[in-house]
Amino acid sequence: MDIDIRSMTLCELAAAIARRDVTSLQATEAYLDAIAAEDPQIQAYNEVYPELARQRASEIDARLDAGEPVGPLAGVPVAIKDNLTTDFGHTTCSSNYLKTFAAPYTATAVGKLLDAGAVILGKTNMDEFAMGSSTENSATHLTKNPWDTSKVPGGSSGGSAAAMAARLCPAAIGSDTGGSIRQPAAFCGVVGFKPTYGRISRYGLVAFGSSLDQIGPMTADVADAALLTSILAGHDDRDSTSIPAPVDNYVAELAIPFEAPLRIGLPKEYYTDALGGEVRAKLDDAIVALKAAGCEFVDVSLPHSRIDIADDGTLSSFAVACYYIVCMAEASSNLGRYDGVHYGHRTESDVDDIVELFSRSRSEALGDEVKRRILLGTYTLSSGYYDAYYNKALKVRRLIHDDFTAAFEQCDVMLCPTTPAPAFGIGEKTSDPLEMYLGDIYTISANLAGLPGLALPCGLTDAGLPVGCQLVGPVLSESLLLRAGMLFESATGITRLRPGQ
- CATH number for the domain spanning 20: value is 3.90.1300.10
Report if residue 403 sits inside a domain. Answer: no
Is the Cβ–Cβ distance between 215 and 250 less than 8 Å? no
Average pLDDT score over the chain? 96
* pLDDT above 90: residue 2: no
**Amino acid 475: pLDDT:** 98
The share of the chain scoring above pLDDT 90, in percent, equals: 91
- Whether 377 is in a domain gets the answer no
What is the DSSP-derived secondary structure letter of residue 305? G
Res 318: pLDDT: 87
Q: How far does CA 121 lie from the centroid of its chain?
A: 18
Burial class (CB in 10 A: 0-12, 13-18, 19+), 90: middle
Asked whether residue 475 is domain-assigned, the answer is yes
* Average pLDDT score over residue span 385-407: 96
Q: How far apart, in whole angstroms, are the C-alpha atoms of residue 218 and residue 225?
A: 7
Q: Examine the pLDDT at 413 and tell me if it is beyond 70.
A: yes
Number of domains in the chain: 1
Sequence-distant (6+) residues with CB within 8 A of 227 are 10, 11, 14, 72, 73, 250, 251
Output the CA angle 44-49-54, nearest 5 degrees.
125
Query: Does residue 418 form part of some domain?
Result: no
Residue-range definition of the domain harbouring residue 161: 5-256+453-492
* Spatial distance between the Cα atoms of 174 and 159, rounded to a whole number of angstroms: 9
- Is 1 a residue whose pLDDT tops 60? no
Average pLDDT of the segment spanning 226-237: 98
Q: What is the pTM of this model?
A: 0.97
Residue type, 487: L
Q: What is the pLDDT of residues 425-466, one digit of tens each?
A: 999 999 988 889 888 999 999 999 999 999 999 999 999 999
Note whether 76 and 170 are within 8 A (CB).
Answer: yes
The arithmetic mean of pLDDT across residues 280-286, rounded, is 98
pLDDT of residue 423: 98
Domain assignment present for residue 307? The answer is no
Residue 381 lies in a domain: no
In a domain, 43, yes or no: yes
pLDDT digits (tens, 9 = 90+) for 46-84: 999 999 999 999 999 999 999 999 999 999 999 999 999
Q: Which residues of 166-205 are buried (b: 16+ CB within 10 A; e: fewer)?
A: bbbbbbbbbbbbbbbbbbbbbbbbbbbbbbbbbbbbbbbb
pLDDT for residue 342: 83
Could you tell me if residue 431 is inside a domain?
no
Between the alpha carbon of residue 191 and those of residues 8, 138, 182, 323, the distances in Å are 15, 23, 8, 24
Residues annotated as catalytic (active site), given as ranges: 81, 156, 180
